[in-house]
Structure 1
Amino acid sequence: MAPYFLRNLVPRREEGKHSRPLLTVIASVTWLQWAQFFCGWLAWTCDAIDFFSVSLSVTHLQDQFNKSTHDITTAITLTLLFRPLGAVLFGIVSDRYGRKWPLVCNLVLVAVLELGAGFVHNFKQFLALRSLFGVGMGGIWGLAASTALENLPVELRGVGSGFLQEGYAVGYLIAAVINLYLVPEVKSGWRALFWTASGISLFTAFLRALLPESEYFLRAKEADRAKGANTSKKTKIFLHEVKEMLKRHWLLCIYAVLLMTGFNFLSHGSQDLYPTYLQQSKGFSAHNATVATIIGNLGAIAGGVVAGFVSQYIGRRLTIIIMVLLIGAFIPLWILPSSFSALSAGAFCIQFGVQGAWGVIPIQLAELSPPAFRATFPGVAYQLGNMVSSASAQIETVGGQNLKTTIIKEGNPTVVPDYAKVQGIFIGVVAAFVVLITIVGPEKHGSHFEQHKAAFEQGAAEDDIPEKDLPSGAPDAKESFHQIE
């Protein structure tokens, strides 16, 4: 008999029998559901703009603070290291009190810290602000994903997941365009990128404040109010359910962190040092490196949307595996050519695979999560994976210091770091790990998690959703990680 994780690699045929046609589902979505999805998407886009402000400004920051590439990438590492703290804090508050105001506060905090980063005068101040910034950024993903996906019909969540995750690539694109056209034209230089990012985050916070709380939480609060539960009692129940959830799902927690470690190494390893790789190892100008980055992120957007859609039909894990195998196939095109056109094509194809695989992650983690903890569990797993992978840029920098190549620069042979070889080896190893960890993992394709109790209700730590609350023909939502044979 085949192992459980292989038998369950493709969704069972009966899971799709009662699904409505995609166009019918899209037509049924209300303007409020679209608005909440857009707010979640925009919040995640802001996170990417804010994060990649440093990656795109490495050269400018080196000149500003008179530091090496390795020193500047310390700011990236510190941001990633502190993100799990933000995921825990904002995730718990969101699962306990709701999606709306925790996300608004989170975005305001990010806006203030990003604004401050544009006013620093020395490197120590910059590192301190980026460390605090990591706390603010850490909360965004879990809150954005739960806000965007839990209000959509179950048949639309795969597509929604792909669009949501590619807010990350869109954020990279926006930051790159600002860096390309605004930064060179203003006296403030690189600081203008940080200030613009701050304004976009503040606008998103304002937009979310205008919209109501998630219907899922409004329904749960109304039911709890009818039972006469007070705030102190709900908090006590919440803390008890968190403890029970950890006791029941500790193995799932470990798996999710391992999965997200691989995914974060995959994305950060292929993106954080990419502009530097093109400039130093391939001799591109800063302008051409930015344009190649934009082309790569167009591939990312296409990959995420396609993979999210496909995952609704062939399953989450199988889609991830196919996308990661595409990454391996295109590594040579990503690192071997020297021309702008060929390397740009390689960037497009690699990011199609990387962000295609990532496009499935929001819904995969939402469906795997203990249903009542869909802000905390995915957010913490994602950011712990971020923390483990936080040294990606520095690992590649050290690799470049030890692996050298020679290029012709201004007519003369010049010895430079061989970031092409370093990134090719790095991404190849990480891709193999991601395929393995995905194959052995669980999947709850089509889970109706929106029917579950909220985290402040008695019994929230249980996986079971009463059958009377499930739509007719819905897949069994009771499967869990401990059922793997």
Structure 2
Amino acid sequence: MNAKLSLFSVLATFLLSSYAMYSITFVVEGISKAFNVSIPAVIFAITLSWIGGAIGGFIFGMIADKIGRKNALLLSIFFYSFLTIGVYFINNIYELYVLWFLVGMGVNGENGISYAIIAELRFTNLRGFAGGIMQGLYAIGSLLGAITAFFISYWGEIFLIAGGISLLSFLFWLWIPEQKFSMKTEMKFSSIFSPTLIRTTVLGSVISLASFLYLIPAFSLMPTVLQDLNVSSYDLVIATADLVSAIVYGLSGYLSDIKGRRITAMYFSIGAIFSSIAFLFLGREVFPVFLVYAFSAFFAFFGVWISELYPMQVRATGANFTLLIGRLIGGGFGTFLVSLIPLQLSVSLALDLIVTSIVAALGITLMR
């Protein structure tokens, strides 16, 4: 099978899953009014999606190691696409909670399997670049959601369109390869804690947790921070920063192919530390915001990197286990934890970014 077509298909399905996942972001107010609930009550559905994502990523990872990447990917696509469409038919906020929890399971299941597939594609010299591009597609998925919301007024139709377009993933799935391995060499889940893999599992989990506690608050709270600081055209600033991060993610991945995964991640994590410090002292300036987004690229190729470090038989399981804690705590409660810091929101966010980037840098330094 053509490697370029395979890569394009993996990236396309990843993009469509991101599009579905971010669709709710732009209709929070509409849902709030439709069901006569508070905005925080709607945002809680997003928290549930990350909790579901942590569980789903791990479960689908184990499934992928049992029945194959391609078969498990098909299940995850079916899971999130039809359930996203199902949100169009909900009648209350509790139905949204259930469905969006399950959508999170499917999307993060798809994402985790995609990392393993990229790590196993036949080309070996551009895996980091592909992983960086793939991670940057989150920003493009968010941009697609914003464009859809601009043209569609009814909140329910956003989910109908996003879920419907996500069905195209079934077409792209046909060109995604399956990497086969002998079941005689099947490994148990406990093997990711074996003496040869325990270091990878522990440090990978630390890096994942620190990264999600950096990324999710930064990308979720920055619009509010800039608005509170009366930064003019803050929405344009965020849109530009999203595009900058998507480009730098690809660059970061490419550099990891040339210079090595660890050294590239180290340089970007150190850049994230200094960017976060600059944001703390120059919060009203736009440039530090771009730096915070750009240097978050220390995480750009992490999914592919961590997948490469595990044997094929437990690759998806191991990679998704390291992402489990990050998705659960960082994704599910990251913004909430930052909001608990009894300081101005911009200062609280900056302190979170400084601490988490330092922890990520330490974990990356110790990784082998």
Give the alignment's TM-score, normalised by structure 2: 0.89
Query: Retained in 2: the 8 A contact 1:141–1:379?
Result: no
> Equivalents in 2 of 1:334, 1:44: separation in Å?
31
- Counterpart code for 2:213: F
The Cα offsets for residues 84-106 of structure 1, whole Å up to 9 and x where unpaired, read as 32123221222222222221221
Matches within 5 A, 1:402-421: 402-403=342-343, 418-421=344-347
- Counterpart code for 2:151: L
Partner of 1:39: 9
Partner of 1:168: 138
The alignment's C-alpha RMSD in Å is: 2.6
Cα distance change on mapping 1:212 and 1:159 into 2, 3 Å: closer
> Equivalents in 2 of 1:40, 1:438: separation in Å?
27
Query: How far is the alpha carbon of 1:207 from its aligned partner?
Result: 1.8
The Cα offsets for residues 105-126 of structure 1, whole Å up to 9 and x where unpaired, read as 2112101111122332322221
- Counterpart code for 2:311: P
Query: Retained in 2: the 8 A contact 1:365–1:378?
Result: yes
Q: Please state if 1:298 is matched with 2:259.
A: no
Partner of 2:194: 247
Matches within 5 A, 1:271-420: 271-279=219-227, 281-283=228-230, 288-331=233-276, 334=279, 336=282, 338=284, 342-343=285-286, 345-354=287-296, 356-389=297-330, 390-399=332-341, 402-403=342-343, 418-420=344-346
Cα distance change on mapping 1:289 and 1:299 into 2, 3 Å: same
Cα distance change on mapping 1:329 and 1:376 into 2, 3 Å: same
Query: Retained in 2: the 8 A contact 1:163–1:305?
Result: yes
Query: Retained in 2: the 8 A contact 1:176–1:294?
Result: no
Matches within 5 A, 1:55-454: 55-179=25-149, 181-183=150-152, 186=153, 188=154, 190-208=155-173, 210-211=174-175, 213-214=177-178, 216-217=179-180, 220=181, 234=183, 238=186, 241-248=188-195, 249-279=197-227, 281-283=228-230, 288-331=233-276, 334=279, 336=282, 338=284, 342-343=285-286, 345-354=287-296, 356-389=297-330, 390-399=332-341, 402-403=342-343, 418-442=344-368
The Cα offsets for residues 274-313 of structure 1, whole Å up to 9 and x where unpaired, read as 333344x13579xx45433321111111211111111123
> Equivalents in 2 of 1:346, 1:33: separation in Å?
38
Cα distance change on mapping 1:326 and 1:237 into 2, 3 Å: closer
The Cα offsets for residues 5-34 of structure 1, whole Å up to 9 and x where unpaired, read as xxxxxxxxxxxxxxxxxxxxxxxxxx7211
SS at match of 2:126: helix
> Equivalents in 1 of 2:289, 2:148: separation in Å?
20
> Equivalents in 2 of 1:81, 1:246: separation in Å?
23
The Cα offsets for residues 225-282 of structure 1, whole Å up to 9 and x where unpaired, read as xxxxxxxxx4x863x5444454343443222211111111111011123333344x13
> Equivalents in 2 of 1:241, 1:265: separation in Å?
30
Instruction: Please state which structure has a larger fraction of its residues in helix.
Output: 2
SS at match of 1:319: helix
> Equivalents in 2 of 1:363, 1:122: separation in Å?
39
Query: Retained in 1: the 8 A contact 2:118–2:304?
Result: no
> Equivalents in 1 of 2:84, 2:168: separation in Å?
14
Query: Retained in 2: the 8 A contact 1:273–1:393?
Result: yes
Cα distance change on mapping 1:298 and 1:433 into 2, 3 Å: same
SS at match of 2:300: helix
Query: How far is the alpha carbon of 1:51 from its aligned partner?
Result: 2.7
> Equivalents in 1 of 2:246, 2:121: separation in Å?
22
Query: How far is the alpha carbon of 1:139 from its aligned partner?
Result: 0.8
- Counterpart code for 1:199: G
Give the alignment's TM-score, normalised by structure 1: 0.69
Query: Retained in 1: the 8 A contact 2:76–2:106?
Result: yes
The Cα offsets for residues 62-83 of structure 1, whole Å up to 9 and x where unpaired, read as 4444444543332222111122
The Cα offsets for residues 114-141 of structure 1, whole Å up to 9 and x where unpaired, read as 1122332322221121122222123112
Q: Which runs of 5 or more residues in structure 2 are unaligned?
A: none
> Equivalents in 2 of 1:284, 1:81: separation in Å?
33
Q: Which runs of 5 or more residues in structure 1 are unaligned?
A: 1-30, 225-233, 404-417, 443-485
Cα distance change on mapping 1:375 and 1:426 into 2, 3 Å: same
Query: Retained in 1: the 8 A contact 2:218–2:353?
Result: yes
The Cα offsets for residues 359-417 of structure 1, whole Å up to 9 and x where unpaired, read as 22133212222332222211232133211212012223444xx44xxxxxxxxxxxxxx
Cα distance change on mapping 1:432 and 1:57 into 2, 3 Å: farther
Query: Retained in 2: the 8 A contact 1:296–1:351?
Result: yes
Cα distance change on mapping 1:398 and 1:149 into 2, 3 Å: same
- Counterpart code for 1:440: L
Query: How far is the alpha carbon of 1:36 from its aligned partner?
Result: 1.6
SS at match of 1:154: coil
Larger radius of gyration: 1
> Equivalents in 2 of 1:283, 1:65: separation in Å?
31
SS at match of 1:256: helix
Cα distance change on mapping 1:182 and 1:348 into 2, 3 Å: farther
Aligned residues: percent identity? 20
Query: Retained in 2: the 8 A contact 1:166–1:301?
Result: yes
- Counterpart code for 1:206: L
